[in-house]
Structure 1
Amino acid sequence: MGLFDVHAHLTDPRLAAIEGEVLARAQAAGITTIVSNGLNPGDNQAVAELAARSPLVRPAFGLYPVDAVLPELLALGIPYEHRGLEPVAAEVAVAWLRQHLPDAVALGEIGLDRHWVPEPLWERQEAVFRDLIRLGLALDKPIILHSRRAEARALQILQEEGARRVDWHCFSSKIKLGRRIAEHGHWLSIPANAARIDGFRRLLEILPRDKILLETDCPYLSPVRGELNEPASVARTVSLAASLWGCGEGAAVDQLEENFEALFGFAP
């Protein structure tokens, strides 16, 4: 059996500083695959380097939806913490992905974000999103999706573009929409803080089991408030899933492994 984390940010400085410890704890918890997601060209490169030195890590390269319009956002005078990185035009980021995405297991994370991005930039953000979806489809890569306050619109665009191999990372919208997403053939990944957040627990309980994946979004969304999250916490979500599904942990892992392989095309 192999546990997995489909959405981690191991290149975050807080985790990168203790990389060896984090990976050792993940391995001790039974994790065999961590998909570390990139946010922009610089972060994607760091993800690639991490994956090259750790067999536990599989790279996903992406363009975070805020980064997709970051130069325009800053030009409007809207403050946004961009990790000290020089803003990169979306065209430059997409060009990087065209060159390097063949080396990744997925395109992610990408998507729409209407929490940080104001309405005047929505059209621009959607145009970049469509370009990225088309790139992922052309290269036959699954998509790891970020959608915040734009879930229905994101689903509409994905349907229009014909994208079916999609994982909705940290889906937190209405259960009715979650069911629609699953009916469309997409997957939804449940974060480790389902241990303390009723909404995520409810999704884990009622969504079709063959459309559920597990993630951490580490270092965020810890199952213990105030603590740094890391991939090892996936093991706690497996225990929760088994309890909610009324089965043993082995059976839960078997189902989750099947789901992972259906999306990514390889076993975790």
Structure 2
Amino acid sequence: MEDKLKIIDSHAHYDDEAFNGDLKEVFDEIRENGVIGILNCAASYNSLKTTNELTKRYDFILGALGIHPENADEFKEDTLDEIKEYIKLNDKIVAIGEIGLDYYWEENPEKDVQKEVFRKQMQLASDLNLPVIIHDRDAHQDTLEIMKEFQGVIGVVHCFSGSVEFAKECIKLGYYIGFTGVITFKNAKKLVEVAKEIPLDRMLVETDCPYMAPEPNRGKRNKSDYIEHIIKKLASIKEINQNELNLKVNDNFCRLIREKI
């Protein structure tokens, strides 16, 4: 009989308004279902504060602070100093993120603005010796180029959507590849190939909740215990026991943030 999974969600947004009405109940439920740790990732300027507060309120939540490319216009002259101050006062902030590039939506900030904000936050990660949580949507080449500018910074390319070749380039730079519920979708053939081809010690699992719920919960509000379905799918792709895969991705996460959970 397989042991109960011990789930670490390497990317979540529990300060999202989707959880405004029942956050405590959701946390009680997911804890009951084996969730032992969560990295809550800031996105907007406001979520720097709300993510920081979540880490203080709940012992199983760690934080990443950064400005998402969709919100790059919110990045001000003193934003880096604010992030530094949060980190100085809170040892549960373990990464810079969610940062990166998003060329998918036409209404997103200009590409040059996104790149500038991305570079500034990569430099901050380098200065503070912290890992980064990278968002890359329809911007693989530019994302990789900026990653290469900051040799020595490592992190995860979250909700990975690129090719096997792109994944291998990221891994060469010391990055991990984050798998969401998308890996369980029927049309995820390209992502399945990535999971087959990359080493197990470079994989992380994540929800990106409240988004990206895996099958059989696709379309519902996502939550961290649904990672069970991602672990099962990846274990079947890798042809190993799901408990073995579960422990391995947990080890990977702890290695990334240089902490035990």
TM over 0.5, yes or no?
yes
> Aligned with 1:90: secondary structure?
coil
Structure 2 counterpart of 1:21, from 16, 22, 25: 25
Alignment of 1:1-268 (within 5 A): 2-69=6-73, 88-102=74-88, 103=90, 104-116=93-105, 121-196=110-185, 197-198=187-188, 199-223=190-214, 224-268=217-261
Aligned-partner Cα distance in 1 for 2:12–2:100:
16
Aligned-partner Cα distance in 1 for 2:147–2:174:
11
Aligned-partner Cα distance in 2 for 1:120–1:38:
18
Q: Is the 8 A contact 2:44 2:71 kept in 1?
A: yes
Aligned-partner Cα distance in 2 for 1:255–1:120:
38
Letter in 2 for 1:28: E
Return 30-39 or 16-25, whichever deviates more: 16-25
Closer/same/farther in 2, CA of residues 117 and 140 from structure 1, 3 Å limit: farther
Q: Is the 8 A contact 2:70 2:109 kept in 1?
A: no
TM-superposed CA distance for 1:117, in Å, is 5.5
Q: Deviations over 1:76-124 (max 9, x none)?
A: xxxxxxxxxxxx3432432321221343111110111112357982222
- What count of residue pairs does the alignment treat as equivalent? 250
> Aligned with 1:91: secondary structure?
coil
Aligned-partner Cα distance in 2 for 1:253–1:63:
30
RMSD: 1.9
Q: Is the 8 A contact 1:219 1:229 kept in 2?
A: yes
Q: Is the 8 A contact 1:7 1:215 kept in 2?
A: yes
> Aligned with 2:69: secondary structure?
coil
Q: Deviations over 1:30-52 (max 9, x none)?
A: 11110011113311111111111
Closer/same/farther in 2, CA of residues 101 and 155 from structure 1, 3 Å limit: farther
Aligned-partner Cα distance in 2 for 1:89–1:127:
10
Structure 1 unaligned blocks of 5 or more: 70-87
> Aligned with 1:250: secondary structure?
helix
Structure 2 unaligned blocks of 5 or more: none
Aligned-partner Cα distance in 1 for 2:177–2:109:
29
Letter in 1 for 2:225: A
> Aligned with 1:123: secondary structure?
helix
> Aligned with 2:116: secondary structure?
helix
TM-score by length of 2: 0.89
Letter in 2 for 1:143: V
Q: Is the 8 A contact 1:7 1:37 kept in 2?
A: yes
Letter in 1 for 2:253: F
Aligned-partner Cα distance in 2 for 1:119–1:233:
30
